[in-house]
Amino acid sequence: MAKEIPTLCPYCGVGCGLLASTDGERILRIRGDPKHPANLGRVCPKGGTVAATVNVATRLRHAMLRDGFGKAPSVVPPGAAIRVAAEGIDRILQSHGPGAIAFYLSGQLTTEAQYIATKFAKAYLRTNHCDSNSRLCMASAGAGMKLSLGSDGPPTVYADIELADAFFFIGSNAAECHPVTFERIRKRIDKGARCVVADPRRTPTAESATVHLPIRPGTDLTLLNGLMRIIRDRGLLDARYIEQHTEGWEQLDAILDDYPLNVVAQRCGLEEADILSAAEIIAYTPKLITFWTMGINQSLQGTFASNAIINLHLATGRIGKPGAGPFSLTGQPNAMGGRDVGYMSHMLPGQRSVASEKDRADMEAVWGLKPGTIVSEVGHDAVRMFDAIDRGEIKALWVIGSNPAASMPNLPRIRSALEKCELVIVQDAYYPTETTKYAHVLLPAAVNLEQEGTYCNSERRVTLMEQVVPPPGDAKPDWWWVREIAVALGFRKGMQFESSEQIFDEFARSTAGRPNDQSGMHYKMLRELGPQLWPHPSMARANDRRYVDGIYPTATGKARLWARHDISPDEKPNADFPMLLTTGRVLNQWHTRTKTGQVEQLNALDPAPYLQIHPQDADELGLSTGDEVTISSRRGTARAPVLTDDTISPGVVFMPIHWNELWAQAASPNEATSDQTDPVSFQPALKCCAVKVAKV
Ligand code: SF4
């Protein structure tokens, strides 16, 4: 008899709850979970078709071994793959030390898989070269929130949408990238809420805007400082909130004189009147939510612009209150869980830092390690990790649930690194991907619907998903493979978890007393009470939203207003590379299409890559829709058919990120994108680089 089991969408950070009907073997139907606070029963086309990604020809069902790059892999029993992986890691560990081993994890893994892999790397192998695709996704927002608020967690929750009277989107095309959240916002707009969208393209989000600011790529911080100045000059500051709950106003106040309206308009490529119209909404609406995502995060000033967004809310006291506050939308379903467990190269569980002696000592106590076990040097972030592989310093790379050979910037460099790497272990649910061709060891992973585990979504709500169907062949949950290889290497004590629940319990305990405290959560409670927001300390009632009392988890209890000047991009258009390339998602595909590329309905809706270009630029280059072009930067060249379209600003071209080498050679914009990084978060500036476009 069919039963309905609660699970989660594996795609974006909205974190929609799903109910999957199953007869125990097959998935019969998927629908949105009406009780889940993230979606209240809604689903977008991707979430609604996720069952079609499970039993497909491209599932990796068995472990495989390959002798070297370019050779065909052979199917082997799981034990043989575990032995080869463990022996390879041990050989490199003995001959080159822990610094020659690296992990590249994913915001699509369960919190339990992220935790066990992080623990294995940092506590037992003693390498901090453990980073993740969060570095490409929202490292800047996380760093910005931690610097401004003391915690990598937004003040806002989804329920604030129905309470807000205005929305400001900057660097976010939520209508396509976070569609269920935007559906809720659109309902508010239909009822009279106003909306400002700053984006170089007139996206579907911008189509719903009261004011659209077609901002020049890379100038968001200038606009944000300009808006802050308008708020100050019109006397709209909340002096009491600034005095009681923040520090740093004097420094911020001092830089605002450098951002008069005419300068801001000129640098951002905007009309002064449009900025003033936007400011009328942004400055005067008490219940305003500001959403941001990759347009801000994937830039050289991602952290500083995140600080500047939070400044707008702190300085006006519109934070920690119903219907008001800054809200970072996230790209992946569980990048938040990943950062909670410390799966980036500078982090430890509980939003701790490897650079802090106290934080290392805390985690050594939790993990039962000798003092001094955890290495104090910050490991390589994603970009520098591949640089170190390319230089031959890192010799073993274990990739779990990600496809860096398609998603990293400057792909020629990534391919060069992967070809040289002595041992590449790739753990994935799908084969082939752009990355699997570099693997010496391939480990088959279960997908969401085939395992239990937790995810933490954009509003920092933790949901338990239950197993719906068994995984195929030898596929296993990601945590299981990590445990088996750790045990094969002799790390039994501390790594011999028997279930994902045991892993969650240890992780939750490790967060006690931290800003992201989840020590009051456990599987039984999540089953009985449903998804829960953090902080949720043991023996305490959960809050409805964070920072309601104006007390922040900083050393002084006050939030910080940061004075951040523009960072001018090193790479500006010139005669050789006269246009700016920006990248992004489309509604019906996701990341590198390992899943959505298997779904007929989604491929019918968004079938192929393209280069969007303004008709004026197309005319100058003699291009028409459908013409094949090359898009070249200082690093490499991508190819795509042209789509002429006046919704993009002149001088800017756009290419979606989803189509890659398996689709066609040079189909990815990452052949050309920049691996320059934000100086604080080390997130690459994927959103903006100088290119030339030429007809093939
Ligand atoms: Fe999944 Fe995001 Fe769509 Fe929700 S909005 S169903 S989480 S892809």
The atom number, within ligand 1, closest to the CA of 9 reads 1
Distance 469 CA to ligand 1 centre (A): 21
- Please give the sequence-ordered ranges of beta strands (E in DSSP) within 165-248, or none if there are none: 166-170, 194-198, 211-213, 246-247
Q: Is 665 exposed, middle or buried (0-12, 13-18, 19+ CB in 10 A)?
A: exposed
Q: What residues contact 218, with CB distance under 8 A and at least 6 apart?
A: 299, 300, 301, 569, 580, 685, 687, 688
* Range 63-136+334-533: architecture per CATH: 3-Layer(aba) Sandwich (3.40)
Fold of 3-53: N-terminal domain of TfIIb (2.20.25)
Which string of b and e fits 353-392 if b means at least 16 CB within 10 Å? bbeeeebbebbbebbebeeeebbeebbbbbbbbbbbbbee
d(CA 589, CA 600): 11
* Average predicted confidence (pLDDT) for the chain: 97
The best mutation among 7, 8, 11 to test binding of ligand 1, ranked by most ligand atoms within 8 Å of the C-beta, falls on 11
Which residue of 16, 176, 186 sits with most ligand 1 atoms within 8 Å of its CB, as the best mutation to test the pocket?
16
Return the SS3 of 112: helix
| From 36, 50, 178, mutation site for ligand 1 pocket: most ligand atoms within 8 A of C-beta | 178
**DSSP H or E stretch at residue 631:** strand 628-632
Look at the alpha carbons of 678, 682, 687, 688 in this order and tell me if their dihedral is positive or negative: positive
Q: 693 CA distance to ligand 1 centroid (A)?
A: 34
d(CA 13, ligand 1 centre) in Å: 7
End-to-end CA distance of the chain: 58
Q: Please report, as a single letter, which amino acid is at residue 459.
A: E
Helix axes 220-233, 302-314, angle to 10 degrees: 20
- In the DSSP assignment, the letter for residue 32 is E
Pocket test for ligand 1, best of 7, 19, 44, 599 (most atoms within 8 A of CB): 44
pLDDT in tens, 496-508: 999 999 999 999 9
CA of 23 to the centre of ligand 1 (A): 24
Predicted confidence band of residue 1 (pLDDT cuts 50, 70, 90): confident
User: Is the Cβ–Cβ distance between 585 and 177 less than 8 Å?
Assistant: yes
Q: Is any atom of ligand 1 closer than 6 Å to the C-beta of 47? A: yes
Q: Which CATH class is domain 139-329?
A: alpha beta
Residues 292 and 220: their CA atoms lie apart, in Å, by 11
Question: pLDDT (tens digit, 9 = 90+) per residue, 435-457?
Answer: 999 999 999 999 999 999 999 99
pLDDT band at 69 (very low <50, low <70, confident <90, very high): confident
pLDDT of residue 336: 95
User: Whose alpha carbon is nearest atom 6 of ligand 1?
Assistant: 47
Closest ligand 1 atom to the C-alpha of 45? 3
Q: For ligand 1, say whether the CB of 12 is within 6 Å of any of its atoms.
A: yes
Cα distances from 621 to residues 578, 580, 648, 652, in angstroms, run 12, 15, 16, 13
Atom of ligand 1 minimally distant from the CA of 32: 6
Residues 692/638, Cβ–Cβ less than 8 Å: no
Among 687, 136, 177, which residue's Cα sits nearest to residue 408? 136
Q: Dump pLDDT digits (tens) for 325-352.
A: 999 999 999 999 999 999 999 999 999 9
Reported ipTM exceeds the 0.85 cut:
yes
Residues 576-586: b if buried by 16+ CB within 10 A, e if exposed: ebebbbbbbbb
Tell the residue nearest (CA) to atom 4 of ligand 1: 16
Angle at 360 between CA 354 and CA 362, to 5 degrees: 140
The domain spans of the chain are: 3-53, 63-136+334-533, 139-329, 579-695
Report pLDDT digits (tens) over 217-243.
Answer: 889 999 999 999 999 999 999 999 999
The Cα–Cα gap between 5 and 468 comes to 6
* Residue 117, SS3 per DSSP: helix
Look at residues 394, 403, 395, 347 and name the one whose alpha carbon lies nearest to residue 375.
347
Residues linked to residue 9 through DSSP beta bridges, in sequence order? none
The whole-number pLDDT of residue 14 equals 98
Per the CB < 8 A criterion, the answer to whether 459 and 337 are in contact is no
Ligand 1 atom showing the smallest separation from residue 44 Cα: 3
Cβ pair 362, 373 in contact under 8 A:
no
CA distance 174 to 196: 13
Distance 214 CA to ligand 1 centre (A): 27
* pLDDT score of 68: 81
Q: What angle do helix axes 220-233 and 249-256 make, rounded to 10 degrees?
A: 100
Summarize the chain as % helix, strand, coil (round to 5).
35, 20, 45
Tell whether the model's pLDDT for residue 668 goes beyond 90. yes
Is residue 535 reached through a cis peptide bond, with omega within 30 degrees of 0 on the bond before it?
yes
Contacting residues for 647 by C-beta, under 8 A, at least 6 apart? 201, 202, 203, 612
Residue 566's pLDDT band, with cuts at 50, 70 and 90, is confident
Residue nearest (by alpha carbon) to ligand 1 atom 5: 180
Interval between CA 50 and ligand 1 midpoint (Å) = 10
Report which ligand 1 atom has the smallest distance to the Cα of 39. 4
Q: For residue 7, how far is its CA from the centre of ligand 1 (angstroms)?
A: 12
Q: Which residues are bridge partners to 59 per DSSP?
A: 430
Query: Looking at domain 579-695, which of 2.40.40.20, 3.60.15.10, 3.40.50.300, 3.40.50.2000 is its CATH number?
Result: 2.40.40.20
| Exposed e or buried b per residue across 443-474, where buried means at least 16 C-beta atoms within 10 angstroms of its C-beta | bbbbbbbbbbbbbbbbbbbbbbbebbbebbeb
